[in-house]
């Protein structure tokens, strides 16, 4: 009896030797001010109280200098081409109702200042969690009688870029309680579950290892305040949920559908991890 | 007769979670109290050169995403997520390293390092990887034989 207890203790002792403390992320090597065309963007802030890490950072802070500079001036930002196309689309009649966005939103895209900072949010009229894409496609289908723009494609990403740009510098502040409380919890659970063949969670990389080099790239916190993101890798704007899809594939996990309910819940949760950071509008990453 | 045909079929699909003849199947690996695996998974000596290839291959070990190995500095971009593997064979005995390679999540609770010889059953595992292991038993032995050369 005693023997059994003793060997159990030894086994536990050995097990402890091999038990690594969970890694912790590291702040960016150098924190630089993010100022785009004279607008100051908060790129470092105290983490919201629902998080276990001390501070949150824009993904911009973790990028190499040559990538960073591309975002400091809209003339250098290659994502602006798709935004310019969206500006034209805003004024172009489309659909059976014979209307353009501008027919109703007479103030132009500027009407939407501040909106990106609070999305996704509960839309009480539709009884659903709404992202910017959802608002745009609702107007297109229900109000213009035009076809919905496909998720993740240039027309929709460009329009999201144009509307998010109106909130540049505004502080992200998505609600996580009330009607979205359960969805937020669902997103939280997707973020932390170990999944896919590699047995990783989003937190394995973006919470436990931010600031650390994984092969050639420095991991960021996976923030979404810079979306849509122009990626040098694929040379177009990318939506938040398409980025999630890419990360899940890298984990050898079956991605959820971009635009579907699980990724919406995850988008809300990840957005809430950025409460306190400034909205960048279309950003540039590698 | 039927059985032997079945076994041959399994052996030809090296990555399936079914072991070839004479191999320890992924689910059957026995860990000692240290978290080590003292017995070879195949009984066939490891091939260090193939071990290096397996480590570099992003679809296999992908070890350089996370580890530095100075002796292989010709491989571009070594990540820093895990400790350097320089001198690892002086730090740990062979059984302990085999244990890490089979299932690092057994050795280091909650680690980001993937379990290399455990059938994939976690939620949302892509269909084509379901039930498979990242490395075959022989690839584990090959990688191990290369790591054994990393002495301080």
The secondary structure of A185-210 as a DSSP string is HHHHHHHHS-BTTTTB-HHHHHTTST
Question: Does B150 score more than 50 pLDDT?
Answer: yes
Residue B96 lies inside a defined structural domain of this protein: yes
- Smallest Cβ–Cβ distance between B65 and the set A7, A208, A214 belongs to A214
Which pLDDT tens digit goes with each residue over A257-284?
999 999 999 999 999 999 999 999 999 9
Question: Does A83 score more than 90 pLDDT?
Answer: yes
Mean pLDDT (whole number) for A213-237 = 97
Nearest residue in chain A measured CA to CA from B79: A215
Look at the block and give the residue holding tokens 């502040």: A173
Give dist(CA B135, CA B144) in Å, integer: 12
Nearest residue in chain A measured CA to CA from B62: A215
Q: What is the pLDDT of residue B60?
A: 97
**Residue length, chain B?**
152
Question: Does A14 score more than 70 pLDDT?
Answer: no
CATH number (domain holding residue A264): 1.10.760.10
- Count Cβ atoms below 10 Å from residue B73 Cβ, excluding itself: 9
Q: Which of A197, A205, A211 to probe the B interface (max B CBs under 10 A)?
A: A197
Q: Does the distance separating the beta carbons of B76 and A193 come in below 8 Å?
A: no
Q: Does the distance separating the beta carbons of A209 and B122 come in below 8 Å?
A: no
A38 and chain B in contact, CB less than 8 A: no
Q: What is the pLDDT of residue B17?
A: 55
Question: Does A9 score more than 60 pLDDT?
Answer: no
Look at the block and give the residue holding tokens 């309910």: A261
CATH number (domain holding residue B108): 1.10.760.10
In this structure, are A192 and A62 located in the same domain? yes
B144 to chain A, minimum CA–CA distance in Å? Answer: 18
Stated pTM of the model: 0.93
In this structure, are A43 and A174 located in the same domain? yes
Q: Are B71 and B136 in contact (CB under 8 A)?
A: no
Nearest Cα to A270, choosing from A25, A56, A20? Answer: A56
Residue B84 lies inside a defined structural domain of this protein: yes
Give dist(CA B58, CA B79) in Å, integer: 13
Nearest Cα to A118, choosing from A48, A45, A169, A175? Answer: A175
Q: Does the distance separating the beta carbons of A252 and B120 come in below 8 Å?
A: yes
Nearest Cα to B18, choosing from B8, A30, B67? Answer: B8
Mean pLDDT (whole number) for A181-206 = 98
Alpha helices (runs of H) in chain A, residue ranges in sequence order:
2-17, 65-68, 80-90, 101-104, 132-138, 154-165, 181-192, 202-206, 240-250, 261-272
In this structure, are A35 and A88 located in the same domain? no
- Smallest Cβ–Cβ distance between B112 and the set A195, A197, A200 belongs to A200
Helix, strand, coil share (%) of chain B residues, nearest 5: 40, 0, 60
Residue A161, both tokens: 């870029």
CA angle B13, B18, B24 (to 5 degrees): 120
Residue B152 lies inside a defined structural domain of this protein: no
Look at the block and give the residue holding tokens 């975002």: A71
In this structure, are A20 and A70 located in the same domain? yes
For all residues of chain A together, what is the average pLDDT?
93
Known catalytic residues of A?
247
In this structure, are A278 and A182 located in the same domain? yes
Query: Per mean pLDDT, which range of A93-102, A161-170, B20-29 is the poorest?
Result: B20-29
Domain assignment of residue B74, given as a range: 2-147
Q: Are A33 and A201 in contact (CB under 8 A)?
A: no
In this structure, are A200 and A277 located in the same domain? yes
The number of distinct structural domains making up chain B is: 1
A58 contact partners, CB below 8 Å, separation of at least 6: A34, A41, A43, A44, A220, A223, A225, A226, A277, A278, A280
Which pLDDT tens digit goes with each residue over B82-120?
999 999 999 999 999 999 999 999 999 999 999 999 999
Q: Does the distance separating the beta carbons of B79 and A212 come in below 8 Å?
A: yes
Nearest Cα to A282, choosing from A240, A241, A250? Answer: A240
Residue B123 lies inside a defined structural domain of this protein: yes
Give dist(CA A117, CA A170) in Å, integer: 6
A216 and chain B in contact, CB less than 8 A: yes
Of the residues A114, A134, A165, which one is the last residue of a structural domain?
A165
Nearest Cα to A163, choosing from A281, A64, A249, A79? Answer: A281
Q: Which residues of A touch B72 (CB under 8 A)?
A: none
In this structure, are A260 and A238 located in the same domain? yes
In this structure, are A108 and A225 located in the same domain? no
Residue A46, both tokens: 């105290």
In this structure, are A134 and A193 located in the same domain? no
Q: What percent of chain A has pLDDT over 90?
A: 91
Residue A265, both tokens: 């819940």
Domain assignment of residue A100, given as a range: 80-165
Q: Does the distance separating the beta carbons of B76 and A20 come in below 8 Å?
A: no
In this structure, are A155 and A234 located in the same domain? no
- Smallest Cβ–Cβ distance between A22 and the set B34, B110, B126 belongs to B110
In this structure, are A52 and A123 located in the same domain? no
Q: What is the pLDDT of residue A17?
A: 39
B107 and chain A in contact, CB less than 8 A: yes
The number of distinct structural domains making up chain A is: 2
Q: Are B102 and B116 in contact (CB under 8 A)?
A: yes
In this structure, are A196 and A128 located in the same domain? no
Q: What is the pLDDT of residue B18?
A: 58
Q: Which residues of A touch B80 (CB under 8 A)?
A: 212-213
B15 and chain A in contact, CB less than 8 A: no
Give dist(CA A19, CA A31) in Å, integer: 33
Which pLDDT tens digit goes with each residue over B18-63?
567 789 999 999 999 988 999 999 999 999 999 999 999 999 999 9
Count CB pairs under 8 A between chains A and B: 85
Q: Which residues of A touch B107 (CB under 8 A)?
A: 18
Q: Does the distance separating the beta carbons of B112 and A205 come in below 8 Å?
A: yes
Nearest Cα to A117, choosing from A247, A251, A281? Answer: A281
Determine which helix (DSSP H) or strand (DSSP E) holds B6, and give its type and residue range: helix B2-12
Question: Does B6 score more than 50 pLDDT?
Answer: no
Question: Does B129 score more than 50 pLDDT?
Answer: yes
Q: What is the pLDDT of residue A250?
A: 97
Question: Does B9 score more than 90 pLDDT?
Answer: no
Exposure of A245 in the CB half-sphere (CA atoms within 13 A): 13
């Amino acid at each position: 009896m005693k023997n059994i207890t003793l060997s159990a203790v030894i086994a536990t002792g050995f097990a402890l030797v091999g038990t690594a403390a969970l890694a912790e992320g590291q702040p960016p090597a150098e924190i630089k001010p993010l100022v785009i065309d004279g607008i100051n963007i908060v790129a470092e802030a105290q983490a919201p109280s629902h998080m276990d890490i001390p501070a949150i950072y824009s993904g911009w802070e973790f990028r190499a200098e040559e990538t960073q500079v591309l975002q400091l001036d809209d003339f250098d930002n290659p994502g602006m081409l798709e935004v310019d196309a969206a500006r034209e689309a805003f004024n172009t009649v489309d659909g059976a109702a014979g209307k353009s966005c501008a027919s109703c939103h007479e103030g132009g895209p500027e009407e939407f200042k501040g909106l990106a900072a609070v999305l996704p949010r509960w839309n009480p009229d539709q009884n659903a969690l709404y992202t910017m894409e959802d608002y745009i496609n609702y107007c297109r289908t229900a109000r213009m009688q035009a076809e919905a723009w496909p998720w993740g494609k240039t027309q929709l990403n460009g329009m999201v870029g144009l509307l998010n740009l109106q909130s540049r510098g505004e502080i992200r502040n998505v609600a996580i309680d009330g009607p979205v409380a359960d969805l937020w919890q669902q997103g939280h659970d997707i973020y932390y579950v170990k999944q896919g063949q590699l047995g990783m969670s989003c937190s394995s990389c973006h919470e436990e290892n931010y600031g650390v080099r994984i092969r050639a790239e420095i991991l960021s916190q996976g923030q979404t305040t810079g979306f849509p993101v122009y990626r040098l890798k694929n040379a177009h704007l990318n939506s938040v949920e398409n980025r999630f899809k890419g990360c899940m594939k890298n984990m050898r996990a079956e991605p959820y559908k971009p635009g579907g309910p699980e990724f919406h819940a995850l988008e809300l949760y990840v957005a809430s991890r950025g409460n306190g950071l400034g909205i960048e509008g279309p950003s540039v990453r590698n | 007769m039927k059985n032997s045909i079945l076994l041959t079929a399994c052996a030809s699909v090296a990555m399936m979670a079914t072991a070839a003849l004479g191999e320890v199947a992924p689910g059957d690996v026995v860990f000692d109290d240290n978290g080590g695996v003292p017995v070879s998974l195949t009984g066939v000596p490891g091939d260090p050169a193939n071990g290096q290839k397996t480590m570099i291959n992003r679809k296999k070990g992908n070890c350089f995403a996370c580890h530095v190995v100075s002796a292989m500095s010709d491989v571009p971009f070594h990540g820093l997520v895990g400790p350097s593997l320089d001198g690892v064979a002086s730090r740990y005995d062979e059984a302990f390293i085999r244990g890490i390679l089979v299932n690092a999540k057994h050795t280091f609770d909650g680690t980001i390092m993937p379990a290399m010889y455990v059938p994939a059953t976690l939620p949302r595992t892509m269909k084509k990887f379901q039930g498979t292991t990242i490395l075959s038993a022989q690839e584990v032995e090959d990688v191990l034989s290369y790591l054994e050369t990393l002495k301080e």
